Copies of this chain bind each other. A is one copy, B any other.
Amino acid sequence: MAAPRDTPQRRAIEAVLAAADGFCTAQDVHARLRAEGHGTGLATVYRHLAALVEQGRVDVVTSPGGEARYRSCSGSHHHHLTCTECGRSVEVRIDAIERACARVGAEHGFRDVHHTIELSGVCDAHPAP
């Protein structure tokens, strides 16, 4: 369960994530690697993706369809606003929400409260009403 060292495969995977500016699926990463000539295996992609998530270098959200989608990100706490049309996503940080979540947890006698928040919508690069 130790994090795999830095290897060419890991670098290739990080490169793919950096190139994409939205979330992409493990299978997507694998396909893109294959397209670029790297013979990286699917298992390896999953391994590194999991390690990167653990290190906080990559975010993962489980899409409604049930698959996990990955995206490289800054290390500190934040959430994502993602376009449902083009997949583009921006990191957002909203103190009001952070505070409200903490307060609600306390009010109900819960401790060690965590939260997951996902925002989605249609960005301004698409036909408007």
- Could you list which residues of chain A lie within 8 angstroms of chain B, going by C-beta atoms? 62, 64, 66, 68, 81, 83, 90, 92, 94, 96-97, 99-101, 104-105, 108-124, 128-129
Whether A123 contacts B100 by the Cβ 8 Å rule is: no
Contact B115 A118 (CB under 8 A): yes
A122 to B122, CA, bound (A): 35
Contact of A123 among B83, B109, B117 (CB under 8 A): B109
In the complex the two chains form, is A81's CB within 8 Å of B110's CB?
A: yes
Which of B104, B109, B119, B124 contacts A113, CB < 8 Å?
B119
A20 CB to nearest chain B CB (Å): 19
Nearest-neighbour CB distance to chain B for A100, whole angstroms, equals 4
Contact check, B109 vs A124: say whether CB atoms are below 8 A apart.
yes
**Do A108 and B96 touch across chains, with their CB atoms under 8 A apart?**
no
With A66-B68, A109-B124, A111-B128 as known contacts, state yes or no: A119 contacts B101, CB within 8 Å: yes
A93 to B, closest residue via Cβ = B104
Cβ contacts under 8 Å, A129 to chain B: 111
